Structure 1
């Protein structure tokens, strides 16, 4: 363990100094040359100590550390490659945007009828995935729902956990994306509204919001989109969260009707 720590800690130092060197090369800033020199010296020192440590401790367990560390790196590369591949396969859903713009007309926002059937759709960013779910509801239940409610719960993670301003920016972004769904639904001739929040525990917030909507619209049905891959493998099973099933389980326990909409991800042929 001591050997593993000594090798990996200087590997981390080397990567950190390398990242700072690249940062100063790309970012104009006062005294950039001085800062770059300091980080470059740190990089050379860290790499020198790393190389010496590996050479001296190689037969004393250093090779095991290299195997374990490189294995983790390989797994990370494969995970990144998988997400990039899925992102490419999902681009076809964004083509729906063009088709929808041609289908929609201009309608005045209808009057809300809280007693009418209401579809509540969980969405994220405005794009092909959410629009595909919206159109699927119309395909499965033609001319049934009169109201649409779009709900999104933003997650406070490492990307935006940098202060209150970042959280406000995230909330503003979510509100703007939901407003696009509201306008889309209005253009189809339906009353629509949106509900959003930013939380750390998303499932608890989803449960509270759903109960609130259920009290407001007594004929509400909740819809959650779920990616379904053409070819299942270990990555699709473990890398894509089970949020849809978790939400459905919570709502069903509360006696609230919910439906999971399959979103097919078809493998593209190059």
Structure 2
């Protein structure tokens, strides 16, 4: 019996060593809008298509990265132009990185983090990035404005039910309008959004499609459009056993099996 006890103890030590020597998984998150395929459609009433004028384009980007004991970085960029190439990057180390970028063809946010997680938010490597675009518009008569833009979301890693170690990516867009005519007024609002997240463990790793939204204008008036991308993650605390750990556990199983066979053979004589 003492031999079996020693074997079980050895197995416990092997298991403890496996979890003690495990490598921590990394994570990535990205969200993007294909700005080159942005579609704007205007229809009118009774064959009369209203004139729609766009103005006040604005782009704002931010990114941050943090590694405990090594440093953090935070960057922002903004410009009143949708055709210029613009980027905001943050890199705390070579493995924890975030980036938000915008141009005439793309609008995206991405983050990557690697390291040992923690239950305390101030002691966990993290990275996040986000982008925000807005534009004003006016209608000179009744009509409908429809916006369509393709999106792509991707996440890897992230731990379930761990807020500080989860990964997420999202895109959203909205339109609002306020019109006034003949002592009356009208309002219209719509939005569309999609997101992925590892927190509840039910999201797929990737998703793509189209954001479709717009407004109904009962008469002359003005409104605004907004587009958002966001990606964030912390380092998951879940661990992946290394191949050497599996080999040690198999060796322990073999040793335990040998001891049991010898004891059985001794009892039969």
Normalising by the smaller structure, the TM-score range is: under 0.3
Query: Larger C-alpha radius of gyration, 1 or 2?
Result: 2
TM-score (norm: length of structure 1): 0.23
TM-score (norm: length of structure 2): 0.23
By percentage of residues, which structure has more strand?
A: 2
**Higher relative contact order (CA closer than 8 Å, sequence separation 6+):** 2
